[in-house]
Structure 1
């Protein structure tokens, strides 16, 4: 059963899609966070499989992505994304067995939630964007440096988004290009339409760019998010599953071997054969299977 809830806060109001039996308040919650350029609809193929296994699944439209609101404080810092996920869990009703699942920017927020002391989540699933701690291992610096030129070419859009004026005019061109480049062979036409519905308007696109600008420019988050924000660069302490697609055009699946070295006991990492960046959409069966193998049944 698919539904929706609204999570009302002082800074943002989040609209979230839900799957599963929400009358069963003892069923554990899987909070699923999407990334860029995507929406909560990006979970539409994996979420029903989690729901069939007994999970209550909730996927918010991230702040700035319609129908969620813009941030009243203009904050698109990782700490703010972490706070939003915690509020979604509170609204769903935590059970002590709940999991956080994040892709792309959602993966960055999920990493922070998996690294923070006293996290209310039991396990974490991080997809397609490695924890930054994986890139701070001195023994592998030379091998990581060898990846840098290729990664810089792939990450052109991050630098482009720092420019004045021009990026604000680019939504209709950048979104389809990234879907083509990042999940080659997957027909993302429906997803591109959903993304442009969510962030195609100028103020919405500016909010989506705000995620990159707040991070690259290292701006200070509002005080309410500062404590959470300081954890996003740390390695996870929760048992964590890391997933990456072999055909990801955004970041190489080779990074998975470095991720394994910073994950705590009880964690695992897998490369999904044939998966692009949006592996929850282009390889949903394999992705859901790996997730359920890790988080188990919700019953």
Structure 2
């Protein structure tokens, strides 16, 4: 493992950076703190520093928080043809935990990270003591909304647009104005800090990153992008979630409506707690960090009694 000082500043101090080999790839990450492991998983279109408000608070509370670059986003990843489906992302996280600790970890996931956190808990419940999922409900709930909820069908237009071969060109046009517009639509009334958006755009300018990010969505609908060797894991991702779960969703989410989260309780075998956060959109953890941090710390304290 390579862990070095990074110079990446935040209000609570400075992040360290590191790289480990896990699941056949270099996994780069930022981290802060010492203690029981918390792995924080970002979504689209985003980067590990999305958790810049959570990491200092968790570190101060006695946790080691590691936020990896998801597959395809990492500065050390070599661009390739995938796979980028959920099953391989789940494998990535379980392998990363094995490299970082020999004790159960907590996973925090936003957007795609939420999907991966749930899947990892199904695949390796003995390695995960609890999960915090934000802004994306279970696949069953989301799939039902795509069939029955006209408002959600309109919100999810980008998922279907990404299946088109022109998507790369459209997203990259005018210095990734597409991405900036998504953030504005998904978190209405809240402005992403300029330096954060600049970092995100910089990441997407790197060769292979945009193709990888769109590959997450394309592999959902195109079986030819799903690896045959992952078939068993793919089936298991529909199983009930076997660990305690905290679920957070912004009341004003313009990407996935808060109403899509209703009735998820049956998908969880242990304690399940859901909070709809007022005055917050899709990036709830950045928009209402004090509320989100309080709920996460309360949840973690119950997992480490």
The bucket for the TM-score relative to the shorter chain is: 0.7 to 0.9
Q: Go from structure 1 to structure 2 and tell me whether the alpha carbon gap of 1:101 and 1:145 turns closer, same or farther (over 3 Å shift).
A: closer
2:28 corresponds to which residue?
Answer: 15
Q: Go from structure 1 to structure 2 and tell me whether the alpha carbon gap of 1:196 and 1:145 turns closer, same or farther (over 3 Å shift).
A: closer
Q: Name stretches of at least 5 consecutive residues in structure 1 with no aligned partner.
A: 22-26
SS in 1 for 2:128: coil
SS in 2 for 1:230: helix
The separation in 1 between residues aligned to 2:166 and 2:146, in whole angstroms, is 32
Deviations 1:195-250 (Å, cap 9, x if unpaired)?
A: 11112335211111110011122346435544433333333111111110111110
Equivalence map 1:162-177=2 (5 Å): 162-171=163-172, 172-177=176-181
**Distance apart, 1:175 and its partner CA:** 0.6
Give the counterpart of 1:85 among 82, 93, 96: 93
**Distance apart, 1:118 and its partner CA:** 3.9
Q: Go from structure 1 to structure 2 and tell me whether the alpha carbon gap of 1:28 and 1:248 turns closer, same or farther (over 3 Å shift).
A: same
Contact 1:131 1:233 in 2 (8 A): no
TM-score (norm 1): 0.88
**Distance apart, 1:262 and its partner CA:** 2.4
The separation in 2 between residues aligned to 1:242 and 1:89, in whole angstroms, is 21
**Distance apart, 1:72 and its partner CA:** 4.6
The separation in 2 between residues aligned to 1:120 and 1:204, in whole angstroms, is 29
Deviations 1:251-284 (Å, cap 9, x if unpaired)?
A: 1111232223422332211111112111111111
Q: Which stretch shifts more, 99-108 or 67-76?
A: 67-76
Equivalence map 1:257-268=2 (5 Å): 257-268=262-273
Equivalence map 1:212-227=2 (5 Å): 212-219=217-224, 221-222=226-227, 225-227=230-232
**Distance apart, 1:294 and its partner CA:** 1.0
Matching of residue 248 in structure 1 with residue 253 in structure 2: yes
Name the Cα RMSD after superposition.
2.3
The separation in 2 between residues aligned to 1:156 and 1:66, in whole angstroms, is 27
Bigger RCO of structures 1 and 2 (CA < 8 A, at least 6 apart): 1
Larger strand share, 1 or 2: 2
Q: Go from structure 1 to structure 2 and tell me whether the alpha carbon gap of 1:19 and 1:226 turns closer, same or farther (over 3 Å shift).
A: farther
